[in-house]
Amino acid sequence: MSQGSKIECVVVETGPKPAACVVWLHGLGADGYDFVPIVKELEQMGLPDTRFVFPHAPKIPVSINGGYVMRAWYDIKNVDLQRQEDEGGIRQSEAMIGQLIEDQIALGFSPGKIVLAGFSQGGAIAYQLGLRTSHKLAGLIALSTYLPCENTLDSELNPANLAIPVLAAHGEQDNIVLMERGEKAVKLLQSKGMNVQWHTYPMAHSVCGEEVVEIANFLKRIL
């Protein structure tokens, strides 16, 4: 657990002196262990020594699942995702992960060596924080996700973050977060001049091997 952020995390370091850090947020109902296996794959592709931080989302009732309590970064009330947004929950997680980023900076990682990544709900929080934080991070990875709190982005966007690279990827058969949602986010960010790579794959709401290769290439390039 990080003392500053008060959030439980799984931490994996690929070498004794990691010079870069990736904070990776899981999707709805999963936990921090969900993406731990990807570290070995990325390491085998020549990623430099890196610290991976996989936080666990808090357990909350999720409306769309009948109020069932599960790990979630915010509540989901509508299959449309962008209707009836749980803005309060989104902003709570934004603040929580923002503190986690501060913890990594306090450990000696410069913001320019920190990547914020996320899948699905985690990707939404990565977008939410990564575009608004006062720190100019190394980059964002947004997998099978969409842009939350879209109506406040213009007023809250940190202009410095328009210069950071973004990798966005989505499954063409995704019926949880429709690919159109992911594409809409990418087009909006590109219209603001952001450097966004957009990749689609013949898969559902998941991650595939080809995508992992793209993530490795992206991380090697920006770190």
**Which residue bears the tokens 């913001």?**
111
Find residue 167's DSSP bridge partners.
141, 197
Cα separation, 79 vs 189, in Å, equals 23
Instruction: Tell me which residues are annotated as active site.
Output: 120, 174, 205
Q: For strands 166-171 and 139-143, give the pairing.
A: parallel
Find residue 112's DSSP bridge partners.
none
Of 39, 35, 33, 41, nearest to 9 by C-alpha is: 33
Quote the tokens at residue 28: 């709805």
Calculate ∠ Cα 134-135-136, nearest 5°.
120
DSSP-based helix, strand, coil % in the chain, nearest 5: 40, 20, 40
Cα 15 off chain centre by = 23
